[in-house]
Structure 1
Amino acid sequence: MKTISFINLKGGVGKTTISTWLAYLLAESWDLRVLFIDNDKQGNASRWLGADERKGTLTNILMDGASVHDVLQKSQYHNIDCIAADMGLVEANYAVIGDQETRQDLILKNALAEIADDYAVCVIDNPPDINMSVFNALACTDDVIIVTLLELDSIEGIRKMHDQITDVQQFNPGLSIKGVLVNQYMAYPEAIELSKELEREGVPLFRSRVSYATPMAKRHKRAVHVRVSLRSVLTAVWQGMSFDLRRNCSNEKT
């Protein structure tokens, strides 16, 4: 199972929208079995996927030692199962830090080992934060996709995120930054210069960018259902972004 984490320290950049859409695309267009983990206490991805937090969440794994089978749910989409999030993740992060008897950063990785052979891809939507639940996600992640807007504060977030990932690589050497995906792109001079600055720093950028003019930016604000949005916005941007991931995952297909 290849695990992909979507992350940025800045909120409001489109991580949840893009991660759920990619999960749907991999599951529907290429018939891959996908596990989606919502690691954001707001639970937006959980709601979009039709998960019910009353059936158990990531909180139960991190704080209560629950088995992954106890919280695993089928989403309302073909080939996608999910582990939901809830506000309990706030308490769970403090509880994990206070647990002196458990390897704090490997709780999720150990839990997922039970179902690793059941899925081709695991997609994790992370909060704009660095806490124990994020460290747990990164500990079991292969590829990180940083979603960003080409704004100065977002670029600073990328730099800080790069430093955090470097730290995590000490105990997960297989972790790498797959690339930075630019969302709501507009080719104005400042954005072009920031893009060049990232390239000069050696930051891997996806050549495909989500234009501000695409329906994604507009539809995300109206919180339109994932299924409807995807069927209307399967553009070359998404095909291009997903092809490389599909190629990497093809040997894992079940």
Structure 2
Amino acid sequence: MPAKIVAICNQKGGVGKTTLVTGLAEMFSQVLELRVLVIDADPQYNVTSALGVEQPEFTLNDVLAGDPDQNQKIMPGVAADAVMLAGDAWQPRMTRDESYPALHLIAAERNLATRERDSMIARERRLRTALRGMVDEFDIVLIDCPPSLGLLTVNALTAATHALLVTEPRVSSVEGLNEIATTIGEVQENLNEDLVPVGVVINKVRKGRSDQTHWIEQVHEKWGDLVLDPVLSDRELFSKAQAAAAPLRSYGSAANPLRDDLEKLARTIWNGVQL
């Protein structure tokens, strides 16, 4: 079965995409026992660091730059050259295929930002070409998009089978959600007619905040059944785990409420992308 490629995106930063991507990667690999590839398409490389990888030798920037001996042409499947293991802490204790560790990464670096200025023909399709064929080694691929509507985000959406939108309940993030939805529509019309929105995740929710309640209602009103349950709470443990480059399981029972919510989301997303 071809891999499901999920681009995780929002126009605005600060909505907790990194913690969502790493949390879902943990659930898919360690709980659902899937073969997972995470692609860090954000030049801030937060997902790369959070997954325990420092100073990678070959990154997504190198992949998208193309072959210098072939006039920067992208060779189909070349992204395989950039695949590396996530840090040891992120590997499942047991997988269905012990010879194939379940969590892999294509890392980002700061110079990835230069790809926003690429002017090659079919520049929006470079990631799609680079992934062709090689992603079938995995069950699911998660692409962490940058917090903008630039060329890197368009590349991710053009390569993806599904889009997962993430927001927090505040005005700028909800506006960013609407803007990325417009971009998804344009990508569907012009570059990737098979792209399907798999859902909207509401992140960084704090109990008792009346202003957040208003924006949660606005998201439900606009997106209806695409809004996924449960919402994710704004917990300090998320930030601690990211800073320590450690999965939530490292924090024992203190992480159980977050892990339970993420597992429910992961199962819902996995069921959704298989329809």
Scaled to the shorter chain, the TM-score interval is: 0.7 to 0.9
Shift of 1:168: 0.6
Q: Are 1:125 and 2:163 counterparts?
A: no
Deviation at 1:110, TM superposition (A): 1.1
Structure 1 unmatched runs, 5+: none
Number of the residue aligned with 1:141: 160
Which of these residues, 54, 62, 68, is aligned with residue 79 of structure 2?
Answer: 68
Equivalent AA in structure 2 for residue 161 of structure 1: I
Q: Does 1:207 align with 2:209?
A: no
Q: Would you say the 8 A contact 2:80–2:131 is kept in 1?
A: no
User: 1:84 and 1:161 mapped to 2: Cα distance?
Assistant: 23
Given that 1:51 and 1:73 are in contact with CA atoms closer than 8 Å, whether structure 2 keeps it comes out as no
Task: Give distance in 1, aligned partners of 2:211 and 2:5.
Answer: 33
Distance of 1:224 and 1:87 partners within structure 2? 20
Residue 103 of structure 1 and its aligned partner are, at CA, apart by 1.3
Residue type matched to 2:232 in 1?
V
> Which stretch of structure 1 is more off in the superposition, 177-186 or 240-249?
240-249
Structure-2 residue corresponding to 1:219: 240
Q: Which runs of 5+ in 2 are unaligned?
A: 68-73, 92-101
Q: Distance in 1 between matches of 2:247 and 2:38?
A: 15
Give the percent of matched residue pairs that are identical in Structure 1 and Structure 2. Answer: 24
Corresponding residue to 1:240 among 241, 260, 264? 264
Tell me which amino acid in the other structure corresponds to 1:113: R
| Equivalent position of 2:21 in the other structure | 19
Given the superposition, is the C-alpha separation of residues 13 and 118 from structure 1 closer, same or farther in structure 2, using an over 3 Å criterion?
Answer: same
Query: TM-score if structure 2 supplies the norm length?
Result: 0.81
Query: Which runs of at least 4 in structure 1 moved beyond 4 Å after TM superposition?
Result: 228-231, 248-251
Offset of 1:228 from its aligned partner?
4.5
* 1:70 Cα offset (Å): 2.2
Cα gap change, 1:241 to 1:216, in 2 (>3 Å): farther
Q: Distance in 2 between matches of 1:117 and 1:218?
A: 32
Q: Which moved more, 1:51-60 or 1:112-121?
A: 51-60
> Once superposed, what is the RMSD of the aligned Cα atoms?
2.2
Residue aligning to 2:211: 190
For residue 143 of structure 1, report the CA deviation from its aligned partner: 2.1
Equivalent in the alignment of 2:94? none
Give the Å deviation of 1:43.
Answer: 1.0
Q: Give the aligned residue type for 2:157.
A: L
Show CA shifts across 1:193-231 (max 9, x none): 22222222235211201123x4545536x7233324565
Pairwise CA distance, 1:185: 1.0
1:87 aligned residue (106, 110, 113): 110
Partner SS state of residue 55, structure 1:
coil
Q: 1:29 to 1:202 in 2, by over 3 A?
A: closer
Closer, same or farther: CA 219–52 of 1 in aligned 2, 3 Å? closer
How many angstroms apart in 2 are the aligned matches of 1:180 and 1:60?
A: 31
CA deviation after TM superposition for structure 1 residue 234, in Å: 3.9
Is 1:173 aligned to residue 175 of structure 2? no
